[in-house]
Chain A
Amino acid sequence: MGKITKYLPSAILGSSVAVPLAYIAYIYQKDDRQKQHAILRNFPLLGRVRYMTEKVGPELRQYLFAADNEGQPFSRIQYQDVVKAGKYNERLVGFGSNRNFAEEGFYIRNSLFPKLRTELKVDNSEKVKTYQYIIDHEGLMSRREHREEVLTDPYYLRDEDAVVLGEGYCRQPFRIKGQVGMSAMSYGALGQNAISALSKGLGVAGGTWMNTGEGGISDHHLAGDTDLIMQIGPGLFGVRTPGGEFSWEAFKEKAAMEQVKAFEIKLAQGAKTRGGHLEGQKVTEEIARIRLIEPGKTVNSPNRFTEYDSFEKLFDFIEELREAGGKPVGMKIVVGDVEGLEEMVQIMKDSGKGPDFISIDGGEGGTGATYQELADSVGLPIMTALPIVDELLRQYDVRDRVKLIASGKLITPDKIAIALSMGADLVNIARGFMISVGCIMAEVCHTNTCPVGVATTDPELQDGLVVGEKMYRVANYVMSLRAGLFNVAAAAGVESPTMLERKHLTHKDIQGRISSVGSMIHKIEQEERKEKDVEELPDKE
């Protein structure tokens, strides 16, 4: 005993100096022998420090150094807005906006005579039972809070304002009493807990929908009794024969499901104008059963439906699907080729055929995994793409046949309201919902190592995500978005967000000048004419 107390302090002191020294000597020597990194050969210690700080840089910036408005794809403050809406059902901010008003951007034109709360055409006749957090005490090192069961106003649209997909064109049109739904997220890209929490949360909120993603309908999508839009991608997952052909039997089986309300053919996705690749080891028995593929075998899906290379063929396919299933059929596109789009709309007009809805994904849209070159520079952002499609459809008199669903970073009510004013009937959200089930934007969706168990199928990591808790955050988030939309509508002087139009929107440039957003195509044409005029100027020489 005496010996231990006598030598312990010096032993600790000795080892605390000796061990790091030994480690430094070890890596010094080791680094000298490697050929991979020049910096480590010349400056092994500093080089190590450099790699380490580079690795933890994003975390340090996110938590310590980035200002509230910094950070992409979503700033710290946007992220917090989503989390607070889900957790506390709270959208209030103190002191004022954090938006940079010097930058250019869209603004809602507020009416000088806004609508009163009692003048809104909202349906809050059935309240929704949900849970929300209440903070008891906020300290530096701890926050005491508890969860309470509450009744919340769901902010549904009135029956007469409900958005209907496929009205008058198919046997079972899809009526939706809200304008916000979940964008395509497959089981496999997201884990079962995340998908179940989303499905149940959307089910609680009602008046919304869930897009299954191209990975087929899983039991987890069905867990919460919410309405589903089944997506069909070029891989034909869930609706294919073993040989990889389209299976009408499988399709009819899906169409007969009560929860499936519509189908969406995915031609492209904002961040991913490419085909899919599913590694054989990820094709579990369950995934194989859902997608109708062979377990353990790698699947490469093409970046286009191999059979359909023209609008005529595609529209005929849509007609057949609608006839066989009796439910609305839409398509998801990314806008880049405006002339191609005009051709499509022309064919819609001439043939009388076409989709019941078009989901327009902005180039800024998210994805689990893609290539940088496609994510950054292929496809127009939503606030350009959306008005172009809306205007083309109007120009050719087919706008009333098709509903537009917009997506691309529309995670707060103001952004959604701007999209609705720009011509969208509905809005799809993916990452906002991921955040509401616990995503912390670690940006490792493609690695299956998501630290919060959202974008992973790893059972251990998924264990962290509790479905019964997160589902209510999803419900609160949707209801809070809808409440926010009514707020904006009231400020703009209309009774319902379905009444928002271009005239409720204005664009302010960097010098403070405002311009109307009445016609995007007209502006493009004007610019083209100007350019042409310049080209045609006679040479002076």
Chain B
Amino acid sequence: MKVFVFGGGGDVGEYILKKLAAENHEAVTVAETENRAEELRMMGAANVIVATDHKFVEAMKGCEAVIYVAGANPTAGENKNVLVDKDAVTSAMTEARKQGIERVIYLSPARMDESDESQQTGDKKIPEELIKLDTFTYTIVSASRGVDKPGKGVVSAGNFNREKNAEIPYEDVAAVLVESLSNEATYNKTFELAPGDTPIDEALQKIIKTR
């Protein structure tokens, strides 16, 4: 499957590119500079465009799904007073719809253990509400605090009461997002992702039951 990854250069993004390549998907993503683009290709991205070249539309042609890793990127967007560039998400989604892409997987910038107040700050939650209202087959994931540790391949997915201070390896978050691509149990679901002891595919199958 050809997948457009927004945020492929981030902590989780790098693992998404590797995971997609390992599972014979074709990853397309965006990098800030040519040197960085080259590095992302080394990680397994099939096509990397440089942001300043403005070739998004072309690159998105033929893609069947979008994985969007939202986050505050210090080098993107002019209005730094919002933590997530809501307009960027909106325009990306508009373009995806135009290209006939139906599948969208979105990693929320709001961590699952954040307080309500913190979740509201900077309109972090707004983009995912917009995605839900759209016509996409969506999966929205809100994860625990990510860390750069080796992935375990086991997680717990569903709804939690905001387990505090839990940490989950970026590698596992990436694996869940990629696994969700064609796992129908995650279609049109919003779920939380925390460390656990269930193998990823099993954990995703369970979501259908918990909701």
Residues of A within 8 Å of B, CB-based: how many?
Answer: 18
Chain A residues with CB below 8 A from B33, complex form: 116, 118-119
Q: Is A535 an interface residue (CB 8 A)?
A: no
Known interface pairs A119-B36, A121-B35, A125-B43. Does A152 touch B148 (Cβ–Cβ under 8 Å)? yes
Q: Is the CB of A116 within 8 A of B148?
A: no
* Minimum distance in angstroms from A73 CB to a CB of chain B: 35
Chain B residues with CB below 8 A from A120, complex form: 35
Interface residues of B in 148-194 (CB under 8 A from A): 148-150, 169, 171
Chain A residues with CB below 8 A from B147, complex form: 150
Q: Is the CB of B39 within 8 A of A495?
A: no
Q: Is the CB of B32 within 8 A of A118?
A: yes
Q: Is the CB of B39 within 8 A of A124?
A: yes
Residue-wise, chain A 94-127 has the 8 Å CB interface mask toward B (1 for contact) of 0000000000000000000000101111111101
Chain B residues with CB below 8 A from A116, complex form: 32-33, 75
Residue-wise, chain A 141-152 has the 8 Å CB interface mask toward B (1 for contact) of 000000011111
Give the interface SS of chain A, mostly helix, strand, loop or mixed: mixed
- Nearest CB in chain B to that of A127: its residue: B148
Q: Is the CB of A122 within 8 A of B150?
A: no
Q: Is the CB of B35 within 8 A of A495?
A: yes
Chain B residues with CB below 8 A from A495, complex form: 35
Q: Is the CB of B149 within 8 A of A150?
A: yes
Chain B residues with CB below 8 A from A151, complex form: 148-150, 169, 171
Q: Is the CB of B42 within 8 A of A123?
A: yes
Q: Is the CB of A149 within 8 A of B150?
A: yes
Q: Is A48 an interface residue (CB 8 A)?
A: no
Q: In the complex, A296→B183 CA distance in Å?
A: 70
Q: In the complex, A123→B42 CA distance in Å?
A: 8
Interface residues of A in 436-480 (CB under 8 A from B): none
Known interface pairs A150-B148, A150-B149, A151-B148. Does A119 touch B39 (Cβ–Cβ under 8 Å)? no
Chain B residues with CB below 8 A from A91, complex form: none
Q: In the complex, A284→B35 CA distance in Å?
A: 53
* Minimum distance in angstroms from A126 CB to a CB of chain B: 8
Q: Is the CB of B148 within 8 A of A118?
A: no
* Minimum distance in angstroms from A196 CB to a CB of chain B: 24
Known interface pairs A116-B33, A119-B33. Does A158 touch B150 (Cβ–Cβ under 8 Å)? no
Residue-wise, chain A 138-174 has the 8 Å CB interface mask toward B (1 for contact) of 0000000000111110000010000000000000000
B residues engaging A (CB < 8 A)?
A: 9, 31-33, 35-36, 38-39, 42-43, 75, 147-150, 169, 171
A-B contact pairs, 15 of them (CB 8 A): A116-B32, A118-B32, A118-B35, A119-B33, A119-B35, A125-B42, A125-B43, A148-B149, A149-B150, A150-B147, A151-B149, A151-B169, A152-B148, A158-B38, A495-B35
Known: A122-B39, A151-B171. 16 other contacts (CB 8 A): A116-B32, A118-B9, A118-B31, A118-B35, A118-B75, A119-B36, A121-B35, A123-B39, A123-B42, A125-B43, A129-B150, A149-B149, A149-B150, A150-B149, A151-B148, A151-B150
